A and B are shown apart, each in its own frame.
Chain A
Amino acid sequence: AQSVTQLGSHVSVSEGALVLLRCNYSSSVPPYLFWYVQYPNQGLQLLLKYTTGATLVKGINGFEAEFKKSETSFHLTKPSAHMSDAAEYFCAVIVSGGYNKLIFGAGTRLAVHP
């Protein structure tokens, strides 16, 4: 069965520093992987997704993620954090044969301080 593990429920960085949010997945078949962001009191917004093809995917707001099959990872990065990046980030995998059912990780809260 597919599952998602996000290492670190809270990550704190300085403005301008590198953002690295970790995600590992478990899947017996090639996965579809997603990163979503949730700003306070709002719904989820898709940052980026990996389905097939290029393993380095670029998303909105300067974020990117790299699919590494050998490490079963899909870590999210951004070279320079901005105060507006403070939010909750969720990694998710689609269950194969499961009617587009998203399985979410527990989330990582990103704090950005001046």
Chain B
Amino acid sequence: DTAVSQTPKYLVTQMGNDKSIKCEQNLGHDTMYWYKQDSKKFLKIMFSYNNKELIINETVPNRFSPKSPDKAHLNLHINSLELGDSAVYFCASSQGWNEQFFGPGTRLTVL
């Protein structure tokens, strides 16, 4: 009974492709997030949804589009992948302003 799960765990793809990463939480939280961790381990928030409404949208290329079909799911779709998109992407969830619970991450490698 994983709290925050992500699929896939690893994703290797060619430049120019379109790919999606899925996230699900079974904690009943109302807020979900996407973070990007680069090769130097630096973590930066990308998006956040609260009750399916986008509330944080950082300076991210519009090739990245989050979608939240319901409170328990937040997916990340990336168009026209570039080498610089290679990173580990983490999903997280919280109930309001409480502690954020992180998923195991998806390692994206763009060749």
Contacts and interface: CB of A to CB of B under 8 A. Distances in A.
Interface of A: 32, 34, 36, 38, 41-46, 49, 88, 90, 94, 98-104, 106-107
Interface of B: 4, 31, 40-45, 48, 50, 55-56, 90, 92, 94, 96-97, 99-105
Contact of A106 (B42, B45, B94): B42
Most B-side CB within 10 Å, residue of A42, A43, A44, A94: A43
A102 B40 CA distance: 18
Interface SS of chain B: helix, strand, loop or mixed? strand
B94 A100 contact: yes
18 contacts: A36-B102, A43-B105, A44-B43, A45-B102, A46-B100, A49-B99, A88-B41, A99-B31, A99-B56, A100-B94, A100-B97, A100-B100, A101-B56, A102-B100, A104-B43, A104-B44, A106-B40, A106-B41
Given A43-B104, A43-B105, A45-B102, 11 more contacts: A32-B97, A36-B102, A38-B41, A43-B4, A44-B43, A44-B92, A44-B102, A99-B31, A99-B50, A102-B45, A106-B42
